[in-house]
Amino acid sequence: MQVGEQPIRPLKCIDQFAVAHSPSTHLHFQIPVNDNNEMLQSPIQPNDPQGELIQMASLSICDEAPMANKAVIACVDERCWRVMCADELFGGKVMILAGDFQQTCPMIRNGLKAQVIDASIRSWPFWEDLKIYHLTCPCCNARNPKFQQWVDSIGDGAGPDIDLSMLKQVTHMQDILDFIFPIHVLADPLQCL
């Protein structure tokens, strides 16, 4: 694929949970992971192999961006402009931040609604500088318009009321951990394959 005279060399940063064994944004940009998403700084330098890869890439694609903490996007931005030696958004590189805001929001441990909103990339100071494109043709559920409409209504907050009384309620964190990580699976992880 080409843009004008230049071939496109994408640096694809797909969320690890979305595609098994695919590189994540954290991996490509060497973004540290910590509970508070504070003081995130990538060690990549312009002369590092990863820095050279960023320099050569025509564009970067970060999928599931709405679920990322704004600190992660800010770290990617800062590292790109340092590697590119250009004081521009993402160092002047084309960055595609893909995702659906009607899906998962950023996770904040014991966070209040205001903290989750503050962690969103929509609260990032440069959000207004981004060019937003909306998907106008449903891709995933294009063959089932009725289901697509139902999914969209849930995302819009107008979906059906769903009775959750059948779900077991827990009061202790250990009960949740035992459910998510059963002892028999921890003893033999190959059972998950």
pLDDT digits (tens, 9 = 90+) for 169-185: 888 888 888 888 888 87
pLDDT digits (tens, 9 = 90+) for 115-131: 989 999 999 999 999 99
Sequence ranges of the domains in the chain: 2-137
pLDDT of 142 strictly over 80: no
Alpha-carbon distance 55 to 116, whole Å? 33
Angstrom distances, CA of residue 145 to CA of 50, 152, 175:
43, 10, 39
Angstrom distances, CA of residue 182 to CA of 20, 168, 170, 171, 178:
22, 16, 16, 18, 5
pTM for the model: 0.64
The residue written with tokens 């160092």 in the block is 91
What are φ and ψ of residue 64, in 5° steps? 60, 35
- What's the burial of 48, exposed, middle or buried (CB within 10 Å: 0-12/13-18/19+)? middle
- According to DSSP, residue 102 is labeled T
